[in-house]
């Protein structure tokens, strides 16, 4: 049976002003089901926190609580230093939310949707009209400005949903699976828009099952399984928790048996052949390269291709899941 981690990762403490989203000991139950069991994390101001976990881990429940859409049973949470429960109006006026399913009006055009939301947020007429035009252009929707939202492609609908969430210039943006169902070009375009939004100073709280997306965008990562945080830190720190952190890909001029290669290079921990290219997990990169050079010199083999690789966030995520025993009662999605 996989070993259950006993430790609960504690976020690094930093100056309050540098933290946009903070949770300490967050708890939520649905009857006998434990959705969140003492969750703690920090989302850096002006950065991206990727909140990762399998289905049923408690990600959406966390987002709903942070946005003031659901009550917590215990713990402390704050957005921009304000408690969501005691100061809900401040929090809701300073955040934007892009749910997995859009809540924009399908019969209204893109520009009119943005203007209407600006009106709901209390923006003066001239400001909301100017803001709508600015966002339509920024998100590449100028030619679709008057087209009904419901008639847009899925990728364009996601763009407008994000534009709508930042029409009032929120300091914190919650994105729940923003690229789900998008084709590759649309997803790439949306990631570029997210990066641009962050550069302009917005903090992003991102839930996603796309680990490549999280690796590309995130400044900090929190991994949630069964309502508990099992790992947290930067992408590099999460990768470093996995033993297979150093690897070499190697293509030689002639075939060689695995036992011969490993005997000549003791720093190789394991080896596998993929399409004629060795994928090596090694204990020390410097030692491995030295041993490979000596092996090729001695045998007369030539190195046709060589490269080093890091453990990906996806590999680290899967390794962490394997090490963790899920609780009996599964959390909400």
Successive 10-residue mean pLDDT values, the chain, 333 residues: 43 66 95 93 93 92 92 94 91 89 90 95 94 91 94 91 92 90 84 88 92 92 93 89 72 92 91 89 86 93 86 86 61 50
What pLDDT is stored for residue 247 in this prediction?
Answer: 81
In Å, how far from its chain's centre is CA 43?
A: 12
What pLDDT is stored for residue 129 in this prediction?
Answer: 95
On the CB side of 58, CA atoms within 13 Å amount to 31
CA gap 132, 113 in Å, rounded: 9
What pLDDT is stored for residue 330 in this prediction?
Answer: 46
User: Is 154 contained in some domain?
Assistant: no
- Strands laid side by side in the 220-225 sheet: 95-98, 172-176, 203-207, 48-52, 220-225, 228-233
Same domain, 182 and 62: yes
The CA-atom distances, in angstroms, between 73 and each of 38, 220, 330 are: 10, 26, 17
Same domain, 84 and 35: yes
User: Is 161 contained in some domain?
Assistant: no
User: Is 64 contained in some domain?
Assistant: yes
User: Would you tell me how many other CB atoms lie within 10 Å of the CB of residue 29?
Assistant: 17
User: Is 37 contained in some domain?
Assistant: yes
Same domain, 90 and 189: yes
For the whole model, what pTM was predicted? 0.77
CATH number for 260: 3.30.70
What pLDDT is stored for residue 286 in this prediction?
Answer: 86
- Domain, as residue range, for 175: 16-94+170-240+316-323
Same domain, 90 and 220: yes
Q: Is the dihedral of CA 20, 24, 30, 34 positive or negative?
A: positive
Same domain, 187 and 276: no
User: Is 193 contained in some domain?
Assistant: yes
Grouping H, G, I as helix, E, B as strand and the rest as coil, residue 148 is strand
What does the CA dihedral 55, 60, 61, 66 come to, rounded to 10 degrees? 150
User: Is 7 contained in some domain?
Assistant: no
Same domain, 278 and 220: no
- Crossing angle, helix 184-199 and helix 154-165, to 10 degrees? 10
CA gap 282, 267 in Å, rounded: 6
In Å, how far from its chain's centre is CA 35?
A: 20
What does the CA dihedral 210, 216, 220, 222 come to, rounded to 10 degrees? 10
Same domain, 175 and 268: no
As for how many domains the chain has, the answer is 2
Same domain, 185 and 236: yes
User: Is 119 contained in some domain?
Assistant: no
Same domain, 44 and 82: yes
Within 8 A by CB and 6+ apart from 154, the residues are 181, 182, 186
CA gap 39, 58 in Å, rounded: 10
What pLDDT is stored for residue 274 in this prediction?
Answer: 87
């Amino acid at each position: 049976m996989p070993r259950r981690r006993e430790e609960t990762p504690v976020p690094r403490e930093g100056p309050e002003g540098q933290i946009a989203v903070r949770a300490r000991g967050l708890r939520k139950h649905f009857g006998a089901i434990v959705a969140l069991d003492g969750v703690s994390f920090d989302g850096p101001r002006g950065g991206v926190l990727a909140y990762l976990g399998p289905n049923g881990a408690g990600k959406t429940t966390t987002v709903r609580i942070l946005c003031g859409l659901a009550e917590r049973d215990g713990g402390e949470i704050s957005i921009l230093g304000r408690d969501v429960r005691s100061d809900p109006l401040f929090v809701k006026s300073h955040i934007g939310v892009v749910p997995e399913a859009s809540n924009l009006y399908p019969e209204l055009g893109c520009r009119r949707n943005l203007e209407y939301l600006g009106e709901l947020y209390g923006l003066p007429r001239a400001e909301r009209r100017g803001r709508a035009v600015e966002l339509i252009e920024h998100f590449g929707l100028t030619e679709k400005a008057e087209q009904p939202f419901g008639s847009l492609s899925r990728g364009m609908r996601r763009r407008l949903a994000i534009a709508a969430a930042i029409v009032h210039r929120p300091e914190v943006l919650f994105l729940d699976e923003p690229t789900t169902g998008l084709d590759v070009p649309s997803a790439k375009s949306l990631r570029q828009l997210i990066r641009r939004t962050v550069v302009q100073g917005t903090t992003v709280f991102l839930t996603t099952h796309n680990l490549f997306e999280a690796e590309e965008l995130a400044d900090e990562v929190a991994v949630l399984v069964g309502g508990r945080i099992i790992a947290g830190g930067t992408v590099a720190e999460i990768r470093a928790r996995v033993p297979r952190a150093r690897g070499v890909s190697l293509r030689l001029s002639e075939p060689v048996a695995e036992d011969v290669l490993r005997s000549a290079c003791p720093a190789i921990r394991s080896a596998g052949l993929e399409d004629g290219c060795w994928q090596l997990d090694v204990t020390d990169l410097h030692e491995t390269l030295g041993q490979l050079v000596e092996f090729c010199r001695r045998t007369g083999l030539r190195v046709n291709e060589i490269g080093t690789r890091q453990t990906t966030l996806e590999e680290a995520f899967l390794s962490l899941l394997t090490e963790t025993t899920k609780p009996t009662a599964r959390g909400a999605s």
